[in-house]
Amino acid sequence: MESDKTHKGITATAGGFYGPQGRVLRLPVQDEMLNNKMDSFQFENNRITNFEMETSAIYGLCKLLGHEALSLNAIVAIAQTVLSVEIHTKQSMN
C-alpha cells in the first residue's frame, strides 16, 4: 500500500544494541560515522528508514532450525513528536 502519508524504505539490522547503533556507553564505538553513513545510504532510490537489532537474530535462528522467516516493520516515528507538541501546547495554553 502506498500513500503520500507513508514512506517506503530499508530496515538496517544492527549486530547489537549500543555500539552498533552509534551509542556510547563506556567503550568507544568502532565507527563514529556509522549513523551518518547509514543516513546517506541509498539503494535503487530507497533510503534506510528504520534501524533495529532483532531481525538478524531471527533470520539466523530460522536458518539454523530450517525455518523460513519474514521481517515486516511498521514504524510510527512522528507520533511521539506530535504527541509531545500537543501536550506542551495544551499545557502552555492553561
Tens of pLDDT along 74-90? 666 655 555 555 555 55
Q: Half-sphere exposure (CA, 13 Å, Cβ side) for 42?
A: 4
pLDDT in tens, 20-35: 667 777 888 788 888 7
Instruction: With CA atoms as reference, report the closest residue to 26 among 35, 18, 34.
Output: 18
Q: Does residue 1 belong to any structural domain of this protein?
A: no
Asked if 10 contacts 43 with a C-beta cutoff of 8 angstroms, the reply is yes
Q: Does residue 5 belong to any structural domain of this protein?
A: no
Q: Does residue 30 belong to any structural domain of this protein?
A: yes
The residue segments making up the domain with residue 56 are 10-93
pLDDT in the model for residue 66: 97
Q: Is residue 44 very low, low, confident or very high in pLDDT (cuts 50, 70, 90)?
A: very high
Asked if 11 contacts 50 with a C-beta cutoff of 8 angstroms, the reply is yes
Domain count of the fold of the chain? 1
Using a cut of 0.75, tell me whether the model's pTM lies above it.
Answer: no
Q: Does residue 85 belong to any structural domain of this protein?
A: yes
Q: Is residue 41 very low, low, confident or very high in pLDDT (cuts 50, 70, 90)?
A: very high
